[in-house]
Amino acid sequence: MSPVSTEDLTKLTWLLDGAGEGMPSPKVRMAAKANAALSALILTIASEAIAHISASNDMPWGDSYALTARIMEETAALLSQKNVHPAQVKDMLCQPGGPAIEALLALERVRLRAAMIDACNGAFNQITTQHTDRAEQL
């Protein structure tokens, strides 16, 4: 695994800082920024978990990270370039009675989706509070 370059970090920071630019209101921009930052964190955690599972099934770490990156790239391409809705991706991957359905049920039991929504709402509230505090200081 290679270290992240300064250029990569700068690009990620630029993307997160720019979240919501051109949106109609400051509140919408703040929500977009909070959700972009949390999405990056959630995807990072998810990709590490995917790589860990592959490695635990005897795939070398390098191959595991490469496979994970490819999965994330292909999923992003479906969502952004082909305008596939996330629910459609889920439906494509889940066969009745199959392992993907079982995995989703396990995630539902621990309320992963609800926790992710709570995390995004918490980040939005934090950004809103910081924005309000800064405005009051001026």
Measure the CA–CA gap between 132 and 6, rounded to whole angstroms.
Answer: 31
Measure the CA–CA gap between 137 and 98, rounded to whole angstroms.
Answer: 56
Measure the CA–CA gap between 45 and 48, rounded to whole angstroms.
Answer: 5
Identify the pLDDT of residue 33.
Answer: 75
Higher-confidence residue of 84 and 128: namely 84
Structural domains of the chain, ranges and CATH numbers in brackets:
6-137 (1.10.3730.10)
Q: Is the pLDDT of residue 47 over 70?
A: yes
* Global confidence as pTM: 0.65
Query: Tell me: the pLDDT tens digits for 93-115?
Result: 899 999 999 999 999 999 999 99
* 121 confidence band (pLDDT: 50, 70, 90): confident
Identify the pLDDT of residue 73.
Answer: 92
* 68 confidence band (pLDDT: 50, 70, 90): very high
**Mean pLDDT taken over the chain:** 84
Identify the pLDDT of residue 43.
Answer: 84
Place of tokens 């992963």: 112
* 7 confidence band (pLDDT: 50, 70, 90): confident
Residues, the chain, total? 138
Q: Determine contact, residues 28/20, Cβ cutoff 8 Å.
A: yes
Q: Is the pLDDT of residue 15 over 90?
A: no
- Most trustworthy range by pLDDT among 1-5, 89-93, 122-126: 89-93
Identify the pLDDT of residue 128.
Answer: 77
